[in-house]
Amino acid sequence: MNSIILIAGTRYLSALLILFSIYALLRGHNEPGGGFIGGLIGSTGFILYAIACGTDQARRALRARPETVAMIGLAIALGAGLSAALFGDVFFTGQWLFLGATETEKGLPVSTVLAFDVGVYMAVFGSILGLVFAMEEEI
């Protein structure tokens, strides 16, 4: 598709979509959002880019192969689940650390649950994107 308007609009929209997808991923634990939704939003960002500028450009912008992103995401999710074993807990028990927590302040929560959600994000993102790119190129 050679639409100047679409190409010009895509630059901003794609960036916004990807930024928003990360926002959706991180807020997911307390507000609507999460890894699955984030991954879907993120992939639409690149899909829009691919429709406007072609899959070659989109692949270059992504740098990594989407299948690789998906597999790494799966590995992170599995690793997050397995890490519970290090603390002597059952498979997929969430492990939490509150950075800088004081008597009154909760601190910054860091958890294997977040790592798991990041893994889900990457797996969904990579799978959808790989499929769409392949369809664009092959059909």
Partner 1 sequence: MAAAAPTSRGHGLLGYGPTALALALFIWFLGFLPVVSAGQAASWAVPWIPVLGIDLAFRIDGLSLTFALLISGIGTLVLLYANSYLTGDPQFDRFVLFLTSFMLAMLGLVLADDLIVLFVFWELTTITSYLLIGYGHDSEKSRRNALQALFLTGAGALAFLAGAILLGEAAGTYRISEVLAQGKAIQDHPHFTAILILVFLGALTKSAQVPFHFWLPNAMAAPTPVSAFLHSATMVKAGVYLLARLHPAMSGGDLWLYTLTILGVVTAVFASLLALRQTDLKQALAYTTLMALGTLVMLLGQDSGYAMTAFATFLIVHSLYKAALFLVVGNLDAATGTRETDALGGLGRVLPMTALAAALAGMSMAGLPPFLGFIGKELTYAGMLQVASFPVILSIMALLANGLILAVASVVAIRPFWSARQPKTPVKNAIPWTMAAGPVVLAVLGTIFGIMPGLLQNTLVAPTVLSLTGDIAETKQLKLWAGVNLPLFLSLATFVLGGLFYAWHATLRARLAMLDRLPNLDEAWDRFMASIKTFAIALTSRIQTGRMTDYMAVTFSTIAIGLIATVLLRGLPPLSPSFADVTPIHLALIGLLLSGTFMATITRKRIAAIAALGVVGIGVALVFIFFSAPDVAITQLLVEVLVVVLVAIVMLQLPRLRDYPNRFRPGHAVIAAGVGGSVTLVLLAILSTPLDRRLTTFFETASWPEAFGRNIVNVILVDFRALDTFGEVAVVVVAAIASIALLRQNRKGRS
At its nearest, how many Å lie between partner 1 and the CB of residue 128? 6
Is there binding between residue 33 and partner 1 (CB under 8 A)? yes
Residue 115 contacts by C-beta under 8 Å, 6 or more apart in sequence?
Answer: 76, 77, 79, 80, 83
Q: Give me the 85-104 binding string for partner 1, x by CB under 8 A, dash otherwise.
A: ------xx-x-x--------
Cα separations in angstroms, 113 against 21, 32, 74:
18, 16, 14
CB of 1 to partner 1, least distance (A): 11
Looking at the DSSP bridge assignments, the partners of residue 130 are: none
- Look at residues 21, 25, 41 and name the one whose alpha carbon lies nearest to residue 128: 41
- Least Å distance, CB 58 to partner 1, is 13
Answer yes or no whether residue 51 interacts with partner 1 by CB under 8 A: yes
34/54 with CB nearer partner 1: 34
Query: CA angle at residue 92 from 38 to 39, to 5 degrees?
Result: 10
Residue span 106-135 as binding mask against partner 1, x where in contact by CB under 8 A, dash where not? ---x-x-x--xx-xx--xx-xxx-xxx-xx
Q: Whole-angstrom distance between the N-terminal and C-terminal Cα of the chain?
A: 15
Residue where the block lists tokens 């994107």: 129
Task: Give the residues lining the site for partner 1 (CB under 8 A).
Answer: 24, 28-37, 40-41, 43-44, 47, 51, 67, 70-71, 73-74, 77-78, 81, 91-92, 94, 96, 109, 111, 113, 116-117, 119-120, 123-124, 126-128, 130-132, 134-139
